[in-house]
């Protein structure tokens, strides 16, 4: 069933979206735009506002202020029309316990015009699902897979997956990531909430990092994939970098320890590195983890008593400064 | 409205409905049979010796009570019949919103292109159909009992139709109020608790209103004042008028409760599954 589509480039748009419960802001002034056909990751610890944002997009919650639109439709007021365009997998998907797996898939295909039962069965087979058992007799992981098959059977332009790989074994996790990539290749937009950095890095085009109810940073993942950090211990003084490299490198030195950040390809740098008086060297991709950690440092109130050292804090601030300098997507 | 939702709702209801309908049918049949075993003259003597308070509770004069119709009509206010109706209404009504929320299935359901009002309406229609089925089963049980015990000569089957209608109206009202509480709640057990407490308070008010003449005004403060199926059965000449008053009150209040439930459910935030 072809649905009317808005002319806007963004399929999801929120403007100063806020949800408060009394004095507590579960989501505060969130403005974001998600382009059609991209996989957008939501990262943040528990309570950072990811699920509240998703539930506002689904129209389950009434915004305290601000607006949320999907395909030009108000998420709260036009929720039925919005749901025709969205397939949603909750973080803790619960299905009807008295139904069998096959009946669950049939129900969700019948209730949504345009959903394909054939496709649901194919997905079930890919996810190695046992469809003859009642939902109440399925393990948490099996229920999650069943819900995933039911959700992805609908050919909607937007798919929202809230921690889709929680409770799944590694094989099925990679299958889920394949399904996300396939959805993207089919031109569908995916919002992908996860705690697992590797998954987000593999699956997403952009990620939004949330902290205490606010969207604090949006990062293009392709940029992160190219970024590297080189830690080195020198036996002599650090010579200056060649002019053609110096502009793009960020170098910080503390005694004989040197940290070099590079935003692009490593190969032009390797020749210069070979000329350095190296005692030790470690080259590592910076990764989403480093960006994420720069917004979510360990502190005294994390409940585990871990406290970051001064050096860790300096490092975090450097990464944050470097990663966000003109690179926010 | 969506056929899949209708099917789901009927499937969820069918086992309880079948069990309660069977109970209602068999109970009414047995009630007639047991009644037929007691001689009417002896019954009159027993009734005359009962305390006046008990007769006040039954709300029938002895002249009406000590008839075949009067005796059989008591089946409709028997605790077994009320239990069946209450069970159906509480189970269905409380499940409507709080039940789905508690099981966490509401989120998956509402993520589909389905209006909240449709979910509530389908649930209410199936529950109302079940209430009618229970009342119908009670009446059919009475008819079967009368036919099987050879009492059909002196008793008209149709006299019990208004009584069954009053039983239906009670079930409708109770289910509607349960649904309203359920629409405001996130926990089914709490919805059942509130509804159970409400019913008990209303019952106590009715008992006090009946037993103490100076408190008879209390009967206007309880919906159970409109639940008098035995009165409807023994007054066939006034059945329409009384049905309109009693059933009209229960159905009207029930409809109002359903409207309130719809308003609350359509506007409320949907809590995350616990």
Q: Is B114 on the interface with A (CB under 8 A)?
A: yes
Cβ B76 vs Cβ B69: under 8 Å: no
Q: Answer whether B270 touches A (CB < 8 Å).
A: yes
Element of type H or E holding A29: strand A24-35
Average pLDDT over residues A212-225: 89
Phi, psi of B272 (to 5 degrees): -70, 150
Give ipTM to 2 decimals.
0.84
More confident of the two residues A1 and B20: B20
pTM: 0.85
Outline where DSSP puts E strands in A153-272. Answer: 158-162, 189-193, 206-211, 214-220, 228-234, 250-254, 257-262
Any CB–CB contact under 8 A between B115 and chain A? yes
* 3-state secondary structure at position A200: helix
Which one-letter DSSP state was computed for residue B97?
I
DSSP conformational letter for B98:
I
Distance CA A130, CA A155 (A): 23
Contact A66, A29 (CB under 8 A): yes
Q: What is the pLDDT of residues B240-264, one digit of tens each?
A: 999 999 999 999 999 999 999 999 9
Burial environment of residue B127 by CB neighbours within 10 A (0 to 12, 13 to 18, 19 or more): buried
Answer yes or no: is pLDDT of A307 > 60: no
CA distance A69 to chain B (A): 16
Cβ-nearest to B4 among A87, A98, A110: A110
- Which among A51, A61, A111 has CB closest to B112? A111
Residue A85 C-alpha, separation from nearest chain B C-alpha, in angstroms: 9
* Residues A41-99: tens digit of each pLDDT: 999 988 899 999 999 999 999 999 999 999 999 999 999 999 999 999 998 889 999 99
Of the pLDDT bands very low, low, confident and very high (cuts 50, 70, 90), residue A312 is low
- The reply to whether A102 touches chain B by the CB within 8 Å rule is no
Q: How far does A151 lie from chain B, in Å, by closest CA?
A: 9
Residues of B in contact with A107 (CB under 8 A): 4, 8
Cβ contact (<8 Å) for A83 and B273?
no
- Tens digits of residue pLDDT in B97-110: 999 998 889 999 99
DSSP3 helix / strand / coil % (chain B, rounded to 5):
85, 0, 15
Q: A80 CB near a chain B CB, below 8 Å?
A: yes
| Residue B270 distance to chain A (closest CA, Å) | 5
Q: In angstroms, what separates the C-alpha of B2 from chain A's closest C-alpha? A: 6
CB-count burial class (<10 Å; 0-12, 13-18, 19+) for B54: exposed
> Measured between CB atoms, does A104 come within 8 Å of chain B?
no
| Contact at CB, A92 and B104, closer than 8 angstroms | yes
A197 touching chain B per CB within 8 A: no
- Chain A residues whose beta carbon lies within 8 Å of the beta carbon of residue B5: 111
Sort B267 into a burial class: Cβ within 10 Å, 0-12 / 13-18 / 19+: exposed
Phi-psi region of A73 (alpha: psi -120 to 50; beta: other; left: phi over 0): beta
- Rounded percentage of chain A residues whose pLDDT exceeds 90: 47
Between chains, do A81 and B110 touch, taking CB under 8 Å as contact? no
A267 interface with B at CB cutoff 8 Å: no
For residue B5, what pLDDT band results from cuts at 50, 70 and 90?
Answer: very high
Closest residue, chain A, to B269 (C-alpha): A61
Residues A130-159 pLDDT 10s: 899 999 999 888 898 999 999 999 989 999
- Looking at residue A318, what is its pLDDT? 66
Chain A positions in Cβ-Cβ contact with residue B114 (cut-off 8 Å) = 80, 83, 111
* Shortest Cα distance, chain B CAs vs residue A183, angstroms: 19
């Amino acid at each position: 069933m072809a649905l009317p589509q808005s002319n806007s480039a963004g399929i999801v748009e929120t403007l100063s979206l806020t949800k408060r419960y009394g004095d507590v802001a579960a989501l505060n002034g969130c403005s974001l735009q998600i382009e059609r056909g991209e996989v957008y990751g939501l990262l943040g610890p528990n309570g950072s506002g990811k699920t509240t944002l998703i539930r506002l997009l689904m129209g389950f919650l009434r915004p305290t202020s601000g607006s949320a639109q999907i395909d030009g439709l108000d998420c709260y007021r036009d929720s039925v029309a919005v749901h025709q365009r969205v397939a949603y997998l909750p973080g803790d998907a619960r299905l009807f316990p008295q139904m069998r797996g096959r009946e669950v898939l049939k129900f969700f295909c019948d209730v949504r015009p345009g959903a394909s039962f054939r496709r649901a069965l194919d997905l079930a087979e890919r996810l190695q699902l046992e469809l003859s058992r009642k939902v109440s007799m399925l393990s948490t992981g099996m229920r999650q897979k069943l819900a995933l098959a039911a959700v992805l059977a609908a050919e909607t332009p937007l798919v929202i997956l809230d921690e889709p790989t929680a409770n799944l074994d590694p094989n099925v996790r990679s299958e889920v990531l394949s399904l996300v990539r396939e959805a993207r290749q089919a031109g569908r937009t995916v919002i992908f909430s996860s705690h697992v950095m590797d998954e987000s890095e593999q699956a997403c085009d952009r990620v939004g990092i949330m902290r205490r109810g606010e969207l604090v940073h949006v990062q293009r993942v392709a940029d992160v994939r190219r970024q590297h950090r080189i830690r080195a211990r020198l036996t002599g003084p650090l010579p200056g970098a060649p002019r053609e490299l110096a502009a793009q490198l960020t170098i910080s030195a503390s005694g004989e320890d040197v940290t070099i950040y590079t935003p692009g390809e490593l190969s032009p740098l390797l020749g210069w590195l070979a000329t350095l008086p190296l005692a030790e060297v470690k080259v590592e991709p910076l990764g989403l983890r480093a960006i994420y950690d720069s917004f979510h440092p360990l502190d005294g109130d994390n409940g585990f008593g871990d406290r970051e050292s001064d050096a860790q804090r300096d490092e975090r601030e450097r990464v944050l400064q470097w990663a966000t300098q003109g690179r926010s997507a | 409205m969506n056929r899949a939702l209708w099917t789901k709702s009927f499937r969820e209801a069918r086992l309880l409905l079948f069990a309660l309908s069977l109970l209602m049918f068999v109970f009414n049949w047995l009630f007639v049979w047991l009644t037929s075993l007691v001689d009417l003259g002896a019954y009159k003597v027993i009734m005359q010796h009962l305390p006046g308070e008990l007769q006040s509770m039954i709300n029938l004069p002895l002249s009406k009570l000590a008839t075949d119709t009067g005796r059989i009509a008591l089946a409709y206010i028997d605790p077994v019949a009320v239990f069946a109706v209450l069970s159906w209404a509480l189970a269905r009504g409380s499940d409507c919103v709080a039940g789905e929320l508690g099981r966490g299935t509401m989120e998956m359901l509402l993520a589909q292109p389905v209006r909240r009002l449709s979910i509530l309406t389908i649930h209410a229609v199936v529950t109302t159909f079940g209430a009618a089925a229970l009342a119908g089963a009670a009446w059919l049980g009475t008819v079967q009992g009368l036919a099987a015990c050879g009492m059909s000569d002196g008793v008209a089957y149709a006299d019990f139709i208004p009584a069954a209608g009053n039983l239906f109206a009670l079930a409708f009202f109770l289910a509607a109020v349960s649904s309203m509480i359920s629409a405001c709640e996130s926990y089914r057990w709490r919805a059942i608790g509130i509804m159970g407490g409400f019913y008990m308070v209303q019952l106590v008010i009715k008992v006090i209103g009946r037993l103490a003449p100076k408190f008879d005004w209390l009967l206007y403060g309880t919906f159970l004042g409109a639940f008098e199926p035995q009165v409807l059965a023994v007054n066939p000449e006034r059945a329409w008028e009384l049905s309109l008053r009693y059933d009209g009150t229960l159905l009207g209040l029930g409809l109002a409760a359903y409207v309130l439930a719809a308003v609350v459910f359509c506007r409320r935030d949907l809590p995350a599954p616990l």
